[in-house]
Amino acid sequence: MNQVNEEAKSNYKYSQLYDILLSKITSGIWKPNDKMPTERELCQRYNVSRITVRDTLDRLSKDGYIYRKQGKGTFVAVRQIEQKLTKFYTLREEFEAKGIEHTNKILSFQTLKALGKVKKNLNLENEDTVYELIRCLYADKVPYAIEVSYIPTKLYPEMTRDLIREKGLYGSMQFFNIIPERATENLRAVKLSKEDALTLGVKKQDTAIRIERTTYSFDSIIEYTITTVKGDSFYYTVELS
C-alpha cells in the first residue's frame, strides 16, 4: 500500500511540474531560445526529485517545447505549428472583412526550373518549370509581409505579370479554370533577412512569422507559397469544434 501511495505522489508531482514549466513557456515568461534552470535548480525550486525533473524535461522535449545542447544546458524551443484549414481564405478577404485596405506590389515575376523543396512540394518532374512571384503585401499602405509564390507553368501556360496585377494570383488561376479549394499551412518563427527587413521597414533580425502554404484544387497541387509576416502584424486564431 505504501509503495502505491509513493507512486501516486510521484506521478502527481511529475504532472504538476510539467504543468508549471509548460505554463512558463506558453505564457512567454520563458521565451524561445531562453536557457532554462538546471536540473538541480529545478529540484530545489519545486522540491522534487531529480528523476521527476528528468522525466518532466524528457516529456517537454518530446512534445517540442524544449531542446538540449550538450554541455550548455536546456533551452526553450521555437515551436512549429501545422494548421489544416477548414475554410479556404485569402489574406485580402480577411482584411476586407475588417474594413482594412489591402494592396500588394509585385517585386519580381520570372520563370525558373523547379528545384529542391519547390519541386518536391509541388510534386513536379525533373524538367518542370515554375513561375516565381514575389510580392510585398500592404495593410492600409503599410508593408506587413513578403510573399514568394511558386506556380507550375504547365497549369497556367500563359500566366503573365500583367494578368496577376489585374486579377490577383487566385483570380488569375480562376482565369485558367483552376479553382483553389483547400490549403495546408506550416508556421514557425524566424529572423528577418536584411533584404526583407529593409522592404518591411523594420530592423534586421527582428522576429517574423514564416508561413509555408500548399494550395490544392481537387487532389492537384497548384501553388506553394512562403509568406514572411512581421511579428507585430501577425494575429492567428484557430477555431476548434
Q: What mean pLDDT comes out for the span 93-98?
A: 70
Q: Which of 25, 51, 76 is the last residue of a domain?
A: 76
Write down the pLDDT at residue 161.
96
Q: Looking at the structure, do residues 185 and 115 belong to the same domain, yes or no? A: yes
Residue 106 sits in the same domain as residue 164:
yes
Read off the C-alpha cell for 194. Answer: 536584411
Specify the CATH number for the domain of residue 135.
3.40.1410.10
Amino acid at 73: G
Q: What's the confidence (pLDDT) of residue 148?
A: 97
What domain range is 224 assigned to? 81-233
Model confidence, pTM: 0.61
When mean pLDDT is compared across 17-26, 82-91, 107-116, the lowest value belongs to: 82-91
CATH number at residue 59: 1.10.10.10
Residue type, 191: K
* Continuous H helices in the chain: 2-26, 39-46, 50-62, 91-97, 116-121, 161-167, 169-175, 194-200
Domain assignment present for residue 48? The answer is: yes
In a domain, 238, yes or no: no
Are both 66 and 104 inside the same structural domain? no
Q: How many CB atoms lie within 10 A of CB 240?
A: 4
Give the confidence band of 108 by pLDDT, cuts at 50, 70, 90.
very high
Confirm whether 58 is domain-assigned.
Answer: yes
> Are both 46 and 104 inside the same structural domain?
no
Q: How far is CA 96 from CA 8, 89, 99, 202, 220, in A?
A: 54, 12, 5, 25, 28
> Is residue 66 located within the same domain as residue 154?
no
Which one, of 236, 204, 235, 230, lies nearest residue 142 by Cα? 230
Domain shared by 27 and 71, yes or no: yes
Evaluate if residue 240 carries a pLDDT over 50: no
Q: Is the pLDDT of residue 1 over 80?
A: no
Per-residue pLDDT of 133-185, as tens digits, reads 999 998 888 888 899 999 999 999 889 999 999 988 988 888 887 888 888 88
Is 18 or 175 the better-scoring residue by pLDDT? 18
For residue 92, what pLDDT is reported? 67
Which residue bears the cell 521597414? 201
**pLDDT of amino acid 236:** 54
Binned at pLDDT 50, 70 and 90, residue 107 comes out as very high
CB under 8 A, 24+ apart: contacts of 53-59: 53/17, 55/14, 56/14, 56/17, 56/18, 56/21, 59/18
Residues 120 and 69 in one domain: no
Does residue 241 lie within any of the structural domains? no
Residue 46 and residue 35 in contact, taking contact as beta carbons nearer than 8 Å: no
Average confidence (pLDDT) over 7-26: 75
The overall average pLDDT reported for the chain is 82
Q: Which of 41, 76, 111 is the last residue of a domain?
A: 76
As for how many domains the chain has, the answer is 2
Q: Which of 23-32, 39-48, 79-88, 172-181 has the highest mean pLDDT?
A: 39-48
Domain end (from 52, 76, 100): 76
- As a whole number of angstroms, the distance between CA 232 and CA 213 comes to 20
Q: How far, in Å, CA of 199 to CA of 145, rounded? A: 9
Considering the domain architecture, whether residues 198 and 171 belong to the same structural domain is answered as yes
CA 73 to CA 75: how far, in whole Å? 7
For residue range 203-232, list pLDDT tens digits in order. Answer: 877 788 888 999 998 888 999 999 998 876
Secondary structure (DSSP) of 8-59? HHHHHHHHHHHHHHHHHHHTTSSPTTPBPPPHHHHHHHHT--HHHHHHHHHH
Sign of the torsion angle spanned by Cα atoms 82, 87, 92, 96: negative
State what percent of residues in the chain have pLDDT above 90: 37
Same domain, 91 and 196: yes
One domain for residues 86 and 59: no
166 CA to centre of own chain: 29
In this structure, the answer to whether residues 27 and 138 fall within a common structural domain is no
